[in-house]
Amino acid sequence: MSGETTRPKPAPKPLGRRQARRQALFLLYQWDLTGQPLASLFEGEPDAFARSLATSVSAVAPELDTRVSAVSEGWPADRLGTLERNILRIGVFELEENAVPMDVAINEAVVLAKRYASEDAARLVNGILGRIAKDGR
């Protein structure tokens, strides 16, 4: 090296909220499937919002599942697919924490379901979160 200095890598640019929710969903999906501690699933440095959301949701997952099961009419959370269950966990968490406006929480969850699950899953997510929002507000 001819007198060159290495510069530290710049901090990663924060993701937009939609992309960060996607990253949180993937972390929660892995956590739910493997049972491994959430922190052990991080590859590299996850977005701060994604890490915070995934950590917060995983900490209260049983309570979130109870809320989903209470309104899902014959589809308790443990019978849902792993993706759908974790999309709903994120949506319920954001609704109950008033982290974002109600419509945003529902829409973002529906977008995740359409993109990574199916149209049927998106309708299911919309219906369940709509009932929870109606009951909780």
For residue 62, give the CATH number of its domain: 1.10.940.10
In which residue ranges of the chain is pLDDT below 50? none
Residue 74 included in any domain: yes
CA angle 9, 15, 20 (to 5 degrees): 125
Confidence (pLDDT) at 12:
60
Range of the domain at 74: 17-34+45-136
39 found inside a domain: no
Q: How many domains does the chain have?
A: 1
pLDDT of residue 2: 53
pTM of the model: 0.87
pLDDT at 5: 60
Position 88 in a domain = yes
Numbers of helices and strands, H then E, in the chain: 6, 0
DSSP 97: T
